[in-house]
Amino acid sequence: MATAAAGTADCWRRTTLAGALPRTSAAFLFLSVVAVAAIISARWITATTAFQGRLARLPTATTAAIPAAVLHPAAEHPRPSAAAPLPPPTSRPPPPALYSISCPAPNLSQSHPTEPPKASQTLARALSSSSSTCASSPGPPPPASSAPPSSNRSCPSYFRFIHEDLRPWRAAGGVTRAMLGRARLTATFRLVVLGGRAYVQRLRPAFQTRDLFTIWGVLQLLRRYPGRVPDLDLMFDTVDWPVVRTHLYRGKYAEVMPPLFRYCGDDRTLDIVFPDWSFWGWPEINIKPWHALQEDLKDGNNRVRWMDREPYAYWKGNPSVSATRQELVKCNVSSTQDWNARIYAQDWFKESKTGYKDSDLGSQCSHRYKIYIEGSAWSISQKYILACDSMTLLVTPKYYDFFSRSLMPIQHYWPVRDDNKCASIKYAVDWGNSHKQLAQRIGKQASSFIQEELSMDQVYDYMLHLLTEYAKLLKFKPTKPPEAVEVCSESLACQAEGLEKKFLIDSMVKSARDAGPCDLPPPFSSRELKMLKQRGKNSVKQIEMWEQRALRA
Ligand SMILES: *[C@@H]1O[C@H](CO)[C@@H](O)[C@H](O)[C@H]1NC(C)=O
Ligand SMILES: *[C@@H]1O[C@H](CO)[C@@H](O)[C@H](O)[C@H]1NC(C)=O
Ligand SMILES: *[C@@H]1O[C@H](CO)[C@@H](O)[C@H](O)[C@H]1NC(C)=O
């Protein structure tokens, strides 16, 4: 199995090809993209499930100083107030009408293939037939004449990274058409919003339904905040790894710096991070839309008290996607050693045959400690793992997504070394079992973060603020590209079938939101940003020192 490094090279090769090949090679390109995508996904999936076995072994007690952040988390990292529910309508106009979708009756004379095609055709069908569907659907109401009502509610602190992600283009004086042209070289689709309507140009196939569910998310944002999403033109790349290397766009090259949206970034790239498709569902592996899954996780979390959970570190996922995960498997308990880790391999193929009975994310909170480790890039499993009150043992990540940059070691998780995983996990579990109150507090702070600061309300607000700030940077007036086709909730949902359709309908925004979004916090000053990074580093260093001391003892 290829390692993550090889995977990244694949990604780059595709990138170069996409830019260099003439149109005549489109067929070859398509095949190579499909092949790469298949490898990516096979190496990428992670999820966790419940483990029923009971292993009785007494944890060894370890003592160590108590980090200040555990005792005074609020002082370390103040949390903005939680999302307020919609205020009850008092003297306001009646609540907004519920949106609905009505699909035309299916064309029975159309011949249906007996075997459903392997790859979803929903987006392709919608793009080839939707102009009339969408044209007859009512447009959004005109933008509110007065400024949108302020919610007087500050957004979670991770929203501050919106300014960080856009800073390079602000410094370059804005986003030009030339920059977008450059971003197009690897983009999966181009999205244009004009007067609250969305137009999509598909540039190359995405893996599974990533593009469909990402575009669906934007359409739901348009329903939720009618008249508030500004006109814009953006390029979106649905492949795992960030590609806009910072060092390539210094000096005069900043003129072509591509503003490219994708799901994750790292410290050496400029890709703009956007919520991934799984918030609206991932039908291929039966992951429900986040608003429903979040409720399941909340219930699941209440099933077993922390003290009654297995006193070990649990992980279940696909180890073959990266070298680092294969190393993790070596930390598993065996007849000769016990690093306090209980590691299980997930077989998605088998799961798909048995209806995912063994991957119920709602019943995953069975251990006091849960390990998060990246696959070939960031993993969508992070939110599911953090949602248990179990303390997350986070193996030093290379990538970030839109919310993970505000997670702090010792406040939301316990850091685990990537270069000495087994000893590091053993130490973490021993520490937790001898500091149960503190370990529980770290677990609780993480699950509160997920429940309060990562609700769909916040996800939509993040999208609205990011797109609004991005649109302000455009130095041209967006227009509909001739190749782009209007998409709307009807055109996508009506073309979908099976679980795909169910997830689209389940994640559909049912009515416009009356109140404004949360207030976008200001950018970090360079000093604040430096201090934030330093604080994280110090906590990690502190723990590594304790580990060293324990190893010597
Ligand atoms: C139904 O499908 C058939 C075969 O594809 C086509 O000829 C016909 O025009 C369609 N009817 C409608 C109403 O779309
Ligand atoms: C929002 O806060 C401002 C300043 O604190 C206050 O003047 C205003 O009345 C508040 N608005 C609402 C709707 O609470
Ligand atoms: C880890 O050990 C447990 C207990 O022996 C075993 O059931 C499990 O299959 C092992 N995991 C892997 C990935 O080999």
**Cα 363 from Cα 387, distance rounded (Å):** 11
Q: Does any domain span residue 422?
A: yes
Q: Give me the pLDDT at residue 98, please.
A: 73
Residues 361 and 250 in one domain: no
Q: What's the 407 CA to ligand 2 centre distance in angstroms?
A: 30
Average pLDDT over residues 267-287: 95
Quick one: pLDDT at residue 134? 82
338, 355: one domain? yes
Spatial CB neighbours of 355, under 8 Å, sequence gap ≥ 6:
none
pLDDT at 77 over 80: no
CB 321 within 8 Å of CB 407: no
Per-residue CA distances from 546 to 59, 66, 441 (Å): 18, 11, 20
Locate tokens 């090679």: which residue?
25
Q: Does residue 154 line the site of ligand 2, with CB under 6 A?
A: no
Ligand 2 atom, smallest distance to 152 CA: 1
Domain shared by 148 and 209, yes or no: yes
Q: Are residues 366 and 474 in the same domain?
A: no
CA distance linking residue 404 with residue 275, whole number of Å: 11
Confidence of residue 73 (pLDDT cuts 50, 70, 90): very low
Q: How many CB atoms lie within 10 A of CB 476?
A: 11
Residue closest by Cα to atom 4 of ligand 3: 333
- 343 ligand 3 Cβ < 6 A: yes
Q: Report the pLDDT value the prediction gives residue 510, as an integer from 0 to 100.
A: 92
Domain count, the chain: 3
CA 106 / ligand 1 centre spacing (Å):
10
> Average pLDDT for residues 233-254, to the nearest whole number?
96
Phi, psi of 233 (to 5 degrees): -145, 115
Residue 111 lies in a domain: no
pLDDT band for position 250 (50/70/90)? very high
Which two three-digit tokens encode residue 322? 């990266």
Assigned domain for 294 exists? yes
Indicate if ligand 1 lies below 6 Å from the C-beta of 110: yes
> For 174-199, what is each residue's pLDDT tens digit?
999 999 999 999 999 999 999 999 99
Q: Please, which pLDDT band fits residue 103 given cuts at 50, 70 and 90?
A: confident
- Inform me whether the pLDDT recorded for 202 exceeds 50: yes
Q: Is the dihedral of CA 349, 352, 354, 358 positive or negative?
A: positive
Give the pLDDT band (50/70/90) at residue 151: confident
Q: Is the C-beta atom of 132 inside 6 A of ligand 1? A: no
Q: Is residue 57 part of a domain?
A: no
Residues 301 and 442 in one domain: yes
**Would the CA dihedral through 416, 419, 421, 424 be positive or negative?**
negative
pLDDT surpasses 90 at 292: yes
Give the CA count within 13 Å in the CB-facing half-sphere of 466.
25
Looking at residue 29, its pLDDT comes to 34
- Residue 152, ligand 2, Cβ within 6 A: yes
Neighbour tally for 220: CB within 10 Å: 22
User: Measuring CA to CA, which residue among 84, 85, 63, 67 is closest to residue 76?
Assistant: 67
Cα of 115 from ligand 1 centre, angstroms:
20
109, 112, 494, 495: residue to mutate for ligand 1 pocket, most atoms within 8 A of CB: 109
341 pLDDT above the threshold of 70: yes
Q: How far is the CA of 108 from the centre of ligand 1 (A)?
A: 8
CB atoms within 10 A of CB 202: 18
CA atoms in the 13 A half-sphere facing the CB of 383? 28
Q: Find the helix or strand (DSSP H, E) in which 348 lies.
A: helix 348-353
Report, as an integer, the average pLDDT of 525-541: 96
Within a domain: 254: yes
CA of 333 to the centre of ligand 3 (A): 7
109 lines ligand 1 (CB under 6 A): yes
343 C-alpha to ligand 3 centroid (Å): 6
Residue 295 backbone class (left: φ over 0; alpha: ψ -120 to 50; beta: rest) = alpha
Give the chain's radius of gyration (CA, Å).
Answer: 24
Task: Give the pLDDT score at 248.
Answer: 96
pLDDT of 10 higher than 60: no
pLDDT band at 552 (very low <50, low <70, confident <90, very high): confident
Residue 40 reports pLDDT greater than 50: no
Q: Is 52 exposed, middle or buried (0-12, 13-18, 19+ CB in 10 A)?
A: exposed
Residue 452 predicted with pLDDT over 70:
yes
Task: Give tens-digit pLDDT for 82-92.
Answer: 444 444 444 55
Distance CA 15, CA 185 (A): 7
Shortest-distance Cα residue to atom 2 of ligand 2: 152
The percentage of residues in the chain with a pLDDT greater than 70, rounded to a whole number, is 75
Of 150 and 213, the one with more pLDDT: 213
Cβ of 345 closer than 6 Å to ligand 3, yes or no, is yes
For ligand 1, the distance from its centroid to the CA atom of residue 128, given in whole angstroms, is 15
For atom 2 of ligand 1, the residue with the nearest CA is: 110
User: What is the whole-number distance in angstroms between the Cα of residue 113 and the centre of ligand 1?
Assistant: 15
In this structure, are 390 and 468 located in the same domain? no
Q: Which atom of ligand 3 is nearest to the CA of 345?
A: 13
- Secondary structure (3-state) at 485: strand
What average pLDDT does range 205-225 have in this prediction? 96
Instruction: Give the DSSP H or E segment for 531.
Output: helix 526-552
Specify the pLDDT at position 448: 97
Per-residue pLDDT, averaged over 58-62, amounts to 36
Residue closest via CA to ligand 2's atom 14 equals: 152
Query: What pLDDT is stored for residue 58 in this prediction?
Result: 33
Average pLDDT value for residue range 42-57: 32
Residue 353 CA to residue 359 CA, distance in Å, equals: 12
Quote the mean pLDDT of the chain: 82
Q: Please report, for the domain that includes residue 376, its CATH number.
A: 3.40.50
Percentage, residues of the chain above pLDDT 90: 66
Same domain as 494, residue 351 = no
Residue ranges in 231-322 assigned as alpha helix (H) = 290-301
Average pLDDT over residues 457-475: 98
Q: What is the mean pLDDT of residues 455-462?
A: 97
The verdict on 17 and 77 lying in the same domain is no
Question: Which residue's alpha carbon is nearest to atom 12 within ligand 3?
Answer: 344
In this structure, the answer to whether residues 349 and 413 fall within a common structural domain is yes
SS (H, E, C) 24-71: HHHHHHHHHHHHHHHHHHHCCCCCCCCCCCCCCCCCCCCCCCCCHHHH
In sequence order, the 6+-apart residues with CB closer than 8 A to the CB of 363 are: 49, 50, 300, 303
Domain that holds residue 23: 4-42
Same domain, 299 and 270: no
Judge if 393 and 542 occupy the same domain: yes
3-state SS assignment for residue 146: coil
Instruction: Tell which one of 342, 422, 425 to mutate to probe ligand 3, the residue whose CB is within 8 A of the most ligand atoms.
Output: 342
In a domain, 309, yes or no: yes
283 found inside a domain: no
* Cβ of 333 less than 6 Å from ligand 3: yes
Average pLDDT of the segment spanning 349-371: 77
Q: Is the CB of 511 under 6 A from ligand 2?
A: no
More confident: 11 or 409? 409
Q: Is 384 among the domain residues?
A: yes
Q: Which atom of ligand 1 is nearest to the CA of 108?
A: 1
Average of per-residue pLDDT across 441-463: 97
Interior angle at CA 548, CA 545 and CA 550, nearest 5: 110
478 and 374 both lie in a single domain? no
In this prediction, residue 31 has a pLDDT band, given cuts at 50, 70 and 90, of: very low
Please tell me the predicted confidence (pLDDT) of residue 49.
31
Q: How far apart are CA 21 and CA 13, in angstroms?
A: 12
